[in-house]
Copies of this chain bind each other. A is one copy, B any other.
């Protein structure tokens, strides 16, 4: 079921290469990749550690629940949407990919994904 949601997001967003549902512990529940060279599990695992640090910072600052993180580097944009206290949705895009559409699709899919956790 996660797979269908991920496939839909990745295929509907220009420039999206891969999507993942992952635990904050860095273990993927499901992933989909349109580009065999993009190892979305490794990317997400690396950023899952960072995400835990961001959550801690948000807690210290009392800015409320962490909802979204976007990381843009020269060769990759990585969008994260927090699904629960344990899981997040990640989307890897090419730099010229549709950042706004990616965020929108992830927000739209979040409730359905959450219901499956």
Partner of A72, one of B43, B50, B69, B78: B69
Q: Contact between B71 and A66 (Cβ–Cβ < 8 Å)? A: yes
- Residues of B contacting A2 in the complex (Cβ-Cβ under 8 angstroms): none
How many chain copies? 2
Among A27-35, A56-64, A83-91, which stretch is in contact with chain B? Answer: A56-64
Chain A interface bracket (under 10, 10 to 19, 20 to 34, 35 or more): 20 to 34
Partner of A74, one of B43, B46, B65, B73: B65
Partner of A53, one of B50, B61, B67: B50
How far is it, in angstroms, between the C-alpha of A62 and the C-alpha of B53 when the chains are bound? Answer: 21
Q: Contact between B58 and A73 (Cβ–Cβ < 8 Å)? A: yes
- Contacts A63-B74, A64-B75, A68-B72 aside, 7 further interface pairs with beta carbons under 8 A come to A50-B50, A63-B75, A63-B78, A64-B73, A67-B73, A67-B74, A69-B69
Q: Which residues of A contact B (CB under 8 A)?
A: 42-43, 46-47, 49-50, 53-54, 57-58, 60-76, 78, 100
A-B contact pairs, 15 of them (CB 8 A): A43-B61, A46-B57, A50-B50, A50-B53, A50-B54, A58-B73, A63-B74, A64-B73, A64-B76, A65-B74, A66-B73, A67-B73, A68-B70, A69-B70, A70-B70
